[in-house]
Chains A and B, each alone.
Chain A
């Protein structure tokens, strides 16, 4: 077992250096999280704080928790946050203007009071003995120790939490589910729409973009057999964004048809 916290109570110098570098950085990142305007920047700073906490866990002989912190928080939870941010997008709630009058001074005063209380309490609290350290508890390894506790003393909470996980998954599905606004068209209806539609020209489907043109790209219109480009072969959303190339440049008449002989 790697021994990171060497002394009992007192920590080793490398850990102190690590702490005094990463600790202030974490607090600064957390503060910046409140001050930056964009929610995405907040998420990135949050991920940084979580990584720092993972380092702190590992430095305190909680190797398993440190790895879990990286995997679960910076891996899964923060990616979920970013995903939802992408889904919800940016709106007026990103601005930092104060909507409830006098809220900010009150919040800051309360925070200073609370933080001061906590810090002064911690400063005055005495344990009456030295910290013990985890070298004895981690004798068989950190993962083994936690696993032993999970399946002996904490087996009931462990089982209950599995029920919680299943319930949360179900709840998320129920909440995120949206009933269909229009009825799903059947295969029969789709077929009728295709052949009894406005024209029969597209009954066999639209040409795929790019594949008949000079190079294989979705923003290049297909060339029809007579050499004219087919602009309707390009995806409508690409067209709407203006991300398509001009069809005329791909007209066969303008492209040199001479084959250069390779030597």
Chain B
């Protein structure tokens, strides 16, 4: 029972990162219809900024998160406005191809700038945590989960309560109608991608606390974001949050199978995913679109 509780906590904490990675990916996919293969690479850009600020200036990794968001917002805006907007009306697979190119460019620029050394941020409080009886809750992971949830809440607020957010949703629902009512498509698209990228940046900052990063370390996260977003359901922030937490739980409980541990992690996650898709194609919490 205690072990079960601890695993439950572990799963939710692990899910925090997936929520962070998933919300940006889901926003871009849901609104722009772009499967952004460069998402993991953008995550790493945020990671490297946090690492740089921590090692050069001693800035606390949690304090550098807004700067990650700002940097990635800017990069995301320019990327969408300058490049992706050029193919946005081509079929899905073309934007996919385009983001694959962006992915290659970003990863290799990171490799040029930061080399292939493994980098990690270990602040003084790393490893410290709450101990509730036998349950252990590390501060950094708890912090990561809280930040990820705040990020999702913030994003949901922007999307549902601000003019910009409503414009983004309108564009996602019906591009032509949105244009008719006077929404600037180019700007709105760029804003959407920028918001998605900003979320990626924050997720990257959180990831440096949990693992060592290299320029290619973001690639698995792209794959996981895929699963998280579909698992929850496309088109709603809350659905992605549920998907992320659920993915963390699946991973942790899969890992705790004695002996074989997580060797089937992907098979379990994807198996479940396929099952969900077949039984409930809109995802666990998604709207039918």
A is bound by B: no
Instruction: Name B residues whose Cβ lies closer than 8 Å to a Cβ of A.
Output: none
Instruction: Name A residues whose Cβ lies closer than 8 Å to a Cβ of B.
Output: none
